[in-house]
């Protein structure tokens, strides 16, 4: 959701900036700049949320692999790891 909103706001802001530059319209340029900045903030928040989710998934997967390793070590005659 953050990613979609960020991309949409960013692209709308860039289009508004380009149009305002072509037409030399200061108020539209200010709005375009503000919308582009908000879009960038939303994109940054989306990246942070995705990284946090990836980190949590990595921790969960690591715990699952460690559990499998602990269960298989004795049956394969390998020394148990801590």
Q: What is the pLDDT of residue 79?
A: 67
Q: What is the pLDDT of residue 81?
A: 64
Q: What is the pLDDT of residue 61?
A: 92
**Ranges under pLDDT 70 in the chain:** 76-82
Q: What is the pLDDT of residue 20?
A: 92
Answer yes or no: pTM beyond 0.75.
Answer: no
Q: How far apart are CA 12 and CA 1, in angstroms?
A: 16
Q: What is the pLDDT of residue 74?
A: 73
Q: What is the pLDDT of residue 82?
A: 60
């Amino acid at each position: 959701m953050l990613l979609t909103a960020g991309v949409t706001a960013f692209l709308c802001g860039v289009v508004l900036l380009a149009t305002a530059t072509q037409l030399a319209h200061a108020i539209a340029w200010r709005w375009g700049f503000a919308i582009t900045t908000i879009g960038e903030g939303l994109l940054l928040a989306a990246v942070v949320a995705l990284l946090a989710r990836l980190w949590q998934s990595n921790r969960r997967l690591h715990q699952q692999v460690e559990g499998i390793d602990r269960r298989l070590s004795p049956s394969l005659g390998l020394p148990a790891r801590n």
